Structure 1
Amino acid sequence: MASSGRKLGVAMDFSPCSIKALKWTVDNVVKEGDLLILVIIRPSQHYEHGEMQLWEVTGSPLIPLSEFSDSTNMKKYGLNLQSEAVAIVTIAAKEKNVVPLMKIYWGDPREKLLEAIDHIPLNSIFIGNRGLGPLRRAIMGSVSNYVVNNASCPVTVVKSEHGHHH
């Protein structure tokens, strides 16, 4: 698929924060012809059937919008998609003529996001600053900080504040 467009990744965990990062990216960054790739990281699981075991290593194939807007189809990946995220990219596809794709990885979000950047490969990645709950964040360290410090492409952290801190 020849496209002069950039490959822009958005790290999605479907938290309000990642939805905000997606919306911000669509509103401020994407241009006609870009590939908008939702990078989803799921916890490692052990799958019975071969296809999923293979993908656990490489990540899923790039999934087109027609497939990921179909919730029954997404159940096979163990995903229950937030309609808000699908709506945002569906509108982007229509209004901005961008190509939305999704890629799912299984494992540690920090490692897998770096893998996505190198393998897809992404020109740029956008990530919300809070996806994980405070406890998980304390254990794992901040995923966004890790990606900023280790990524081989520009990383934009889209800040999402809950409440106003003075």
Structure 2
Amino acid sequence: MATGGGNLGSVVVAVDGSEESMKALRWALDSVRLRPDGALVVLHVQPRPGIAAGLNPGPIPFGGPREVEVPAFTQAIEAHQRRITEAILEHALKICAEKNVEVKTEVVVGDPKEKICEVAAELKADLLVMGSRAIGPVKRMFLGSVSNYCINSVGCPVVVIKGT
């Protein structure tokens, strides 16, 4: 982390496993100056199991119950999501260790764009750092951009490290 006195108390770096988010983490580790009592928080938002699966079991036809919970399916997806989260944080913490910087980690479950903004607000972040994937305009129109949402919704400055 950059030397010298800093004036930032709380910096949140959102990581999602993409190389762009890891570039954002590296940028923060190299560029951000924290107060002595400051903290750099590596945040990962784990999608809800239904979002992660991209599908829900359909309703049972011919008058069956409309809401069907498939516990084994849901548990398998949740376990898979936990493994993904662990791998992402392990990679992020390895990058931090290489730069000899201690960070805090936080994992929340939900919609990434909303949760990133919520955590930044809860932690009273002075800065949010995140990566941005190079998605095309059509995809962005339909899916939206997490970084664009955060830029327009969070109450602190945002640094976006763009993908190539």
Whether these two folds match at TM > 0.5 is yes
Provide the rounded CA distance (Å) in 2 between the counterparts of 1:120 and 1:152.
11
% of aligned pairs identical? 31
- In the alignment, which of 126, 130, 138 is matched to residue 129 of structure 2? 126
Q: What is the RMSD of the two structures over their aligned residues, measured on CA atoms?
A: 3.0
The answer as to whether partners of 1:30 and 1:36 remain within 8 angstroms in 2 is no
- In the alignment, which of 14, 18, 40 is matched to residue 15 of structure 1? 18
**Secondary structure, aligned partner of 1:80:** helix
Q: How does 1:1-166 map to 2 (within 5 A)?
A: 6-31=9-34, 33=36, 34-45=38-49, 77-78=82-83, 79-82=85-88, 83-92=90-99, 94=100, 98-130=101-133, 137-161=140-164
The answer as to whether partners of 1:110 and 1:147 remain within 8 angstroms in 2 is yes
Structure 1 segments unaligned to the other structure (5+ residues): 49-74, 162-166
AA aligned opposite 1:90 = A
The answer as to whether partners of 1:36 and 1:101 remain within 8 angstroms in 2 is yes
Q: CA deviation at 1:45?
A: 3.1
Q: What is the count of residue pairs matched by the alignment?
A: 128
TM-score between the two structures when normalised by the length of structure 1: 0.64
Bigger radius of gyration = 2
Rate the CA distance shift 1:106–1:144 in 2: closer, same or farther, 3 A.
same
Provide the rounded CA distance (Å) in 2 between the counterparts of 1:10 and 1:20.
10
**Secondary structure, aligned partner of 2:103:** strand
Provide the rounded CA distance (Å) in 2 between the counterparts of 1:135 and 1:84.
31
Q: CA deviation at 1:88?
A: 1.6
Provide the rounded CA distance (Å) in 1 between the counterparts of 2:113 and 2:46.
11
The answer as to whether partners of 2:46 and 2:108 remain within 8 angstroms in 1 is yes
Q: CA deviation at 1:80?
A: 3.2
The answer as to whether partners of 2:9 and 2:35 remain within 8 angstroms in 1 is no
The answer as to whether partners of 2:9 and 2:39 remain within 8 angstroms in 1 is yes
Q: CA deviation at 1:30?
A: 3.7
